[in-house]
Structure 1
Amino acid sequence: MLYRRFGRTELQMPVFSCGGMRYQHSWQDLPPDTIPQKNQENLEATIRRALSLGINHIETARGYGTSEIQLGKVLPTFERSKLIVQSKVSPRANPTEFSRTVELSLSNLNLDYLDLLGFHGVNNAETLDYSIRPGGCMDAARKLKAQGKVRHIGFSTHGPTQVIVDAIESDLFDYVNIHWYYIFQDNWRAIEAAARRDMGVFIISPSNKGGNLYSPPPRLVELCKPLSPMVFNDLFCLSHPQVHTLSLGAACPSDFDEHMKVLPLLDQADELLAPILERLEKRAIATLGEHWYHTWQEGLPDLQSTPGQINIAIALWLGNLVEAFDMVEYAQSRYNLLGGASHWFPGNKADNLSQFDLTDSLKNSPHSQTIPDRLARIHEKIGGEDVKRLSQQ
């Protein structure tokens, strides 16, 4: 395993972390005695496999159902000083409720302290305000830190880049859990802001949210050769020194295997990535057109300025991935979250497009005349039954 300094926390962070949202029994809290032994054994085997590889950062959240309780049966069997344990708790309007939930996480995990406490889902102005206002959740977290129950405080986010930058520039957090990978690079500005403040940078779900790379489409497989899409994406992320660790949401012990192929390649990253990046860009330009490829994001309205709160940017982005790389399954899974995922994935699909006039909201886009038709085609191709976030299932 390779390790990177996790910003001002000074922790030596493995470049891969063991994320805790795919191996638990249930997304809902359940009595411990209802958890099947087979599932618990798989979770424990997954943790042991991670640690045998040098992946000593175990990451979970209060919102991950039985994950904390199940980890609480295995983590205390290891030397505590050798582990880096992170859990995440959503910021609340009532900071006392936030503190109680952190205490519950500690009890579930059967640990005396968290190395890393993340404010889970700082996704909009409201959750940011809950987090950093005087007398809010940050003050509560600092009290827990003074009591020795928390060592470092960060936040996770699915929010727009400006909200993330605002949270970073508060200079109250030690690290950030953020979405950023080859197919979605919008948050680079936030990563640069985090680097300026010497914050740890943890990439959320690069294999799942980064393109369902557990089951990539044949076209993407071909374009990424000689690497698998998963190895390519890991190498792309880790080739940037501002990135410290990637979360591997392992469902079983063997899920680490493909990722481990990246470690001996890091010294050759530039040489290996260059031809793949060139092929991917050429393919995208050939299918999307050069003008669209370079300018599609220009002048797009924010949700509040869009009739029906249609998430135009997300819909167009996913349409690009389908057209260029055949990423239909991934696009469907993301697009059909719109309308039901609240601030975790805000905005609506383009299913009621005919009811709205987008003329004024698109006036600053060089593609204002063609975007409505493009949205309609995208919806026809990937629109379907609403999809729930995993934690809602």
Structure 2
Amino acid sequence: MQYRRFGRTNLQMPVFSCGGMRYQQSWNDIDPKTVEEAGQRNLEATILRALELGINHIETARGYGSSEMQLGYILPRLPRDKMIVQTKVSPFASTREFRETFEQSMRYLKLEHVDLLSLHGINNAELLEWSLRPGGCLDEARQLQRDGRCRFIGFSTHATTDIILKAIESDAFDYVNLHWYFVNDYNWPAVEAATKRDMGVFIISPTDKGGLLQSPPPKLVELCRPLSPIAFNDLYCLARPQVHTLSVGAARPSDFDEHVHALKHYDKAAEVVAPIEVRLRAEIERVHGADWAAAWSAGLPNYVDVPGEVNVQEIVRLWHFAQALDLVEWGRMRYNLMGNAGHWFPGVNAAKFDQAQIFAACGKSPFAERIPAILAEAHTLLHGEQQKRLSQSD
């Protein structure tokens, strides 16, 4: 395994983290007596495989159903000083609720402390305010830190880049969990801002959210050769020293294999991905045209600045990559979450919109005149059965 300094925490972080949102039995809290033996064995085998590979960062959340409880059956039996354990607790209007939720996490994990505590899902201005205001959740987390219950404090986010930048620029956090990978470049300014402040940078779900790369379309497989799409995306991220670790949401021990296999190219990551990136971008240009390929994301408004909160920025991104790289199934999965996943996937899809209002909202885009037609085309291509977040699946 390769390791990177996790910003000012000075933790030596493995470049892959063991994310805890897919190996648990349920997305709800369940009676410990109902935990199935086979499922628990799989979870424990997954953790042991991670540690065997040198992936000693175990990451979970209070919002991941039975994940913490099931981890609590194995973590206390493992060498505590050789693991980096992280959990995440959502911000609340009440710090009492935040504290009680944290205490529930610790009871489940059966640990005296966690190394990393995240404010989970600072996804909009209200949640940021709950976190940063005097006497808010961050102050409560700092008290937990002083009490020895956590070592470092960060935040995770699915927010628009402007909200992420405000959280980073508060200088209140030691690290950030955010989205950034080949098919989502929006948050690079946030990565750079975090680097400037020597914060740890954790990339959320680059395989699943990065294109459903566990089941890629044939076109993408061909364009990424001789690497797999997973390996390309991993190395694309790790070629940037600003990125410290990528989450692997393993559901079984074998889910680490393709990621670890990519590390044979680790020392030449930039060199290895360069020709593949050239091919991918050439194909995007062939499909969409050079002008669009060069500036398609410029000036697209955040959903809060669009009448009806149509998530123009996200819809255009999904359409862009679905059309160019055949990432249609991924696009459908993401598109049909809009309006069904609360602040985790905000805004609405393009089922209904006023063309004149969209045109006006997109005035800073060089393609403002095209955007209404693209939204309509995206809806035709991607609309289907409403999707739910994994945490809503039970």
- TM-score, normalization: structure 1? 0.98
Distance 1:188 1:304 in 2: 20
Is 1:84 matched with 2:61?
Answer: no
Distance 2:299 2:180 in 1: 22
In 2, are the aligned partners of 1:307 and 1:356 still within 8 Å (CA)? no
- Corresponding residue of 1:227: 227
- What's the CA shift for 1:354? 5.8
Is 1:48 matched with 2:48?
Answer: yes
- What's the CA shift for 1:359? 3.3
Distance 1:83 1:366 in 2: 49
- Corresponding residue of 1:248: 248
- Corresponding residue of 2:31: 31
- Corresponding residue of 1:323: 323
- Corresponding residue of 1:146: 146
Counterpart amino acid of 2:246? L
- Corresponding residue of 1:340: 340
- What's the CA shift for 1:139? 1.1
Counterpart amino acid of 2:67? S
Higher mean C-alpha displacement, 290-299 vs 50-59: 290-299
SS of 2:358's equivalent in the other structure is: coil
In 1, are the aligned partners of 2:358 and 2:371 still within 8 Å (CA)? no
In 1, are the aligned partners of 2:235 and 2:270 still within 8 Å (CA)? no
Distance 1:196 1:308 in 2: 36
In 2, are the aligned partners of 1:308 and 1:356 still within 8 Å (CA)? no
SS of 1:236's equivalent in the other structure is: helix
Higher mean C-alpha displacement, 249-258 vs 300-309: 300-309
- What's the CA shift for 1:21? 0.3
- What's the CA shift for 1:13? 0.7
Distance 1:270 1:254 in 2: 26
- Corresponding residue of 2:371: 371
Deviations 1:307-347 (A, max 9, x none): 22111111111111111100011000000011122211111
- TM-score, normalization: structure 2? 0.98
Deviations 1:170-220 (A, max 9, x none): 111111001011111111111111111111111111111111110000000
SS of 2:142's equivalent in the other structure is: helix
Is 1:155 matched with 2:155?
Answer: yes
Counterpart amino acid of 2:388? K
Distance 2:44 2:358 in 1: 52
Counterpart amino acid of 2:29? D
In structure 1, list runs of 5 or more residues that go unmatched: none
- Corresponding residue of 2:313: 313
Counting only pairs closer than 5 Å after superposition, residues 159-174 of structure 1 correspond to structure 2 as 159-174=159-174
Distance 1:20 1:326, change over 3 A: same
In 2, are the aligned partners of 1:353 and 1:376 still within 8 Å (CA)? no
Counting only pairs closer than 5 Å after superposition, residues 106-117 of structure 1 correspond to structure 2 as 106-117=106-117
- What's the CA shift for 1:374? 1.6
SS of 2:4's equivalent in the other structure is: strand
In 1, are the aligned partners of 2:355 and 2:372 still within 8 Å (CA)? no
- Corresponding residue of 2:19: 19
Distance 1:76 1:302 in 2: 44
Higher mean C-alpha displacement, 264-273 vs 183-192: 264-273
SS of 1:152's equivalent in the other structure is: strand
In 1, are the aligned partners of 2:160 and 2:302 still within 8 Å (CA)? no
Distance 1:142 1:10 in 2: 18
Higher mean C-alpha displacement, 40-49 vs 136-145: 136-145
In 1, are the aligned partners of 2:214 and 2:230 still within 8 Å (CA)? yes
Q: Give the root-mean-square deviation of aligned CA atoms.
A: 1.2
- What's the CA shift for 1:267? 1.1
Distance 2:170 2:304 in 1: 24
Distance 1:233 1:298 in 2: 23
Distance 2:130 2:188 in 1: 25
In 1, are the aligned partners of 2:153 and 2:174 still within 8 Å (CA)? yes
Higher mean C-alpha displacement, 369-378 vs 193-202: 369-378
Is 1:207 matched with 2:207?
Answer: yes
Give the length in aligned residue pairs.
393
Deviations 1:86-129 (A, max 9, x none): 00000111011101111110110010001000000011111111
- Corresponding residue of 2:132: 132
- Corresponding residue of 1:96: 96
Distance 1:343 1:325 in 2: 28
Distance 2:86 2:359 in 1: 46
SS of 2:246's equivalent in the other structure is: strand
Is 1:359 matched with 2:375?
Answer: no
Distance 2:366 2:37 in 1: 58
Counterpart amino acid of 1:260? V
- Corresponding residue of 2:178: 178
- Corresponding residue of 1:7: 7
Distance 1:303 1:30 in 2: 36
Counterpart amino acid of 2:79? E
Distance 2:344 2:366 in 1: 29
Distance 1:287 1:324 in 2: 6
Is 1:267 matched with 2:287?
Answer: no
SS of 1:243's equivalent in the other structure is: coil
Counting only pairs closer than 5 Å after superposition, residues 266-305 of structure 1 correspond to structure 2 as 266-305=266-305
Distance 1:305 1:147, change over 3 A: closer
SS of 1:139's equivalent in the other structure is: helix
Distance 1:300 1:260 in 2: 36
